[in-house]
Structure 1
Amino acid sequence: MTEFDPIRLEVLRNALEATAQEMGAVLKHTAFSPNIKERMDASCAIFTADAELVAQAEHVPVHLGSMLRAVRPTLDVTGALDEGDVIIVNDPYVGGAHLPDITLIAPVFIGGRHVAYVASRAHHSDVGGMEPGSMPGRSIEIYQEGIIIPPVRLYRKGALQQDIMTMVLANVRTPDERRGDLNAQLAALRIGERRMAELAERFGADALEQGMAAILDYTERRMRARMAELPRGVWYTEDCLDSDGSSDDPVWIRLRIELTDDAFIFDFEGTSPQVRGNVNAVAPMCWSSIFYSLKLLTDASLPPNAGVLRPITVKIPKGCFLDAQAPAAVCAGNTETTQRLADTVLKGFAQIAPERIAAASNGTMNLIGIGGVDPRNGRAYTYIETSGGGQGGRPMGQGMSGVHANMSNTLNTPIESLEISYPLRCVRYELRDGSGGAGLNAGGEGIIRAIQIVGHEARVSLQTDRRRFAPYGLHGGESGSLGRNWTVDAKGEKLERAAKGSLTLNDGETVILETPGGGGWGAVPAAQEAAE
Structure 2
Amino acid sequence: MEIDPVTLEVLRNALQAIAEEMGVTLTRTALSPNIKDRRDCSTAIYTARGELVAQAEHIPLHLGLMPTVVKKTLEFYPPETLRPGDTIIINDPYISGSHLPDICLISPVFMGEELLGIVANLAHHVDVGGMVPGSMATTATEIFQEGIRIPPVKLSQGGKLNEELLRVLAQNVRNAATFWGDIQAQIAANTVGARRLAELAARVGGAELKRYLRAVIDYAARRFRKALKELPPGIYTFTDYLEGDGLTADPIRITATVTIGEEGLKVDFTGTSPQVRGPVNATRGVTLACVYYAVKAVCDPELPASEGIAYPLTVITPPGTLVNPTFPAPVAHANINTAQRIADVVFGALAQAVPERVAAAGTGSMSNFAIGGLDSRGRYYSYIETYGGGQGGKCGQDGMDGVHVNMTNTLNTPVEVIEMEYPLLVARYGLVPDSGGPGEYRGGCGLCREITLLREATVSVSTERSSFTPWGLAGGLPGRNSRCLLKRPGCDWEVMPGKFTLTVPAGTTVILETAGGGGFGDPRARAPEAVRRDVKNGLVSREAALADYGVVLNEDCEIDWIATQAKRRETKRLP
TM-score (norm. length: structure 1): 0.98
| Partner in structure 2 of residue 7 of structure 1 | 6
Following the alignment from structure 1 to structure 2, what is the Cα–Cα distance between the partners of residues 524 and 417? 39
In structure 2, the CA distance between the partners of 1:526 and 1:381, relative to structure 1 (3 Å rule), is closer
Secondary structure at the aligned position of 1:300 is classed as coil
User: CA offset at residue 232 of structure 1?
Assistant: 1.1
Kindly provide the CA deviation profile for residues 487-521 of structure 1, in whole angstroms up to 9, marking residues without a partner as x.
12223621111111111222221111011000011
**Relative CO higher for 1 or 2, CA cutoff 8 Å, sep ≥ 6?**
1
- Residue 382 (structure 2) pairs with residue 382 (structure 1): yes
Task: Give the superposition deviation at 1:78.
Answer: 3.0
State the partner residue of 2:522: 523
Displacement of 1:336 in angstroms is 0.5
Task: Tell me, in whole angstroms, the C-alpha distance in 2 between the residues paired with 1:85 and 1:197.
Answer: 15
Deviations 1:186-234 (A, max 9, x none): 0000000010011101110011000011111111110011011111111
CA contact (8 A) 1:58 1:64 kept: no
How many equivalent residue pairs? Answer: 529
1:427 paired with 2:463, answer no
Partner of residue 441, structure 1: 441
1:136-193 alpha-carbon deviations (Å, 9 max, x no partner): 1211110111000011001011111122111110100000000000000000000000
Instruction: Write the mapping of 1:291-310 to structure 2, written as runs, cut at 5 A.
Output: 291-310=292-311
State the partner residue of 1:490. 489
2: CA distance, partners of 1:58 / 1:398: 23
Asked if the contact 1:3/1:214 (under 8 Å) is kept, the reply is no
| Superposed counterparts of 1:130-529, under 5 Å | 130-375=131-376, 377-454=377-454, 456-491=455-490, 493-525=492-524, 529=550
Q: How far apart are the structure 1 equivalents of 2:209 and 2:491? A: 63
Identity of matched residues, %: 48
**Contact 2:83/2:158 (8 A) holds in 1:** yes
Q: Distance in 2 between matches of 1:531 and 1:128?
A: 59
Residues 489 and 509, structure 1, Cα contact 8 Å, conserved in 2? yes
What pairs up with 1:93-132 in 2 under 5 angstroms? 93-132=94-133
Question: Is the 8 Å Cα contact of residues 70 and 95 (structure 1) preserved in structure 2?
Answer: yes
Amino acid at match of 1:158: G
Specify the alignment match of 2:562 in structure 1: none
Give the Cα separation in 2 of the matches to 1:32 and 1:155. 21
On the 8 A contact 1:471/1:482 being kept in 2, the answer is: yes
Give the match's secondary structure for 2:236.
strand
Task: Report the residue type matching 2:51 in the other structure.
Answer: E
User: 2:204, 2:363 → 1: CA distance?
Assistant: 45
Higher Cα Rg: structure 1 or 2? 2
Q: Which structure 2 residue ranges, 5 or more long, are not aligned?
A: 527-548, 551-565, 569-575
**Separation (CA, whole Å) in 2 of partners of 1:531 and 1:491:** 47
1:112: how far off? 1.0
AA aligned to 1:480 is G
| 1:531 aligned counterpart, secondary structure | helix
- Could you say if the C-alpha distance between residues 388 and 4 of structure 1 is closer, same or farther in structure 2, counting changes exceeding 3 Å? same
CA distance in 2, matches of 1:168, 1:514: 35
| Farther-moved stretch of structure 1 (146-155 vs 492-501) | 492-501
Partner secondary structure for residue 397 of structure 2:
coil
Asked if structure 1 preserves the Cα contact closer than 8 Å seen for 2:429 and 2:448, the reply is yes
CA shift for structure 1 position 55: 0.4
> How far apart are residue 3 of structure 1 and its match?
2.8
Q: Which moved more, 1:521-530 or 1:317-326?
A: 521-530
After superposition, the C-alpha distances for 1:296-336 in whole angstroms (9 at most, x for unaligned) are 11111101001011010001112111111111000011111
2:138–2:247 Cα contact (<8 Å) kept: no
The C-alpha deviation readout for 1:85-134, integer Å capped at 9, x for no partner, is 10000000101100000000000011110010000000000000000000
Opposite residue 17 of structure 1, the aligned amino acid is: Q
Question: What's the CA shift for 1:243?
Answer: 0.8
In structure 1, the residue corresponding to 2:511 is in which secondary structure? Answer: strand
What secondary structure does 2:347 align onto?
A: helix
Distance, in Å, in 2 between the alignment partners of 1:303 and 1:404 is: 21
Separation in 1 of the partners of 2:491 and 2:8? 62
Shift in Å at residue 367 of structure 1?
Answer: 0.3
User: Residue 463 of structure 2 aligns to which amino acid in structure 1?
Assistant: T
What displacement does 1:244 show? 1.0
* Distance change (3 Å), C-alpha of 1:492 and 1:434: farther
Structure 1, unaligned runs of 5 or more: none
Would you say 1:86 and 2:122 are equivalent positions?
Answer: no
What amino acid sits opposite 1:468 in the alignment?
Answer: S
Say whether the 8 Å CA contact 2:138–2:501 is kept in structure 1. Answer: yes
Residue aligned with 2:6, SS: helix
On the 8 A contact 1:280/1:329 being kept in 2, the answer is yes
Q: Output the TM-score relative to the length of structure 2.
A: 0.91
Q: Which residue is 2:36 aligned to?
A: 37
Whole-angstrom CA distance in 1 between matches of 2:489 and 2:401: 31
How far apart are 1:526 and its partner, in Å?
6.8
CA deviations over 1:36-61 (Å, ceiling 9, x no partner)? 00000000000001110000001011
How many angstroms apart in 2 are the aligned matches of 1:212 and 1:403? 34
Any idea what SS the aligned residue of 1:254 has? strand
Partner of 1:412, secondary structure, is: coil
Deviates further, 160-169 or 337-346 = 160-169
Q: How far 1:69 moved relative to its partner?
A: 1.3
Q: Distance in 1 between matches of 2:84 and 2:302?
A: 34
Contact preservation (8 Å) 2:463, 2:498: yes
Question: Deviations for 1:67-93, whole angstroms, at most 9, x for unmatched residues?
Answer: 121111111123332211100000001
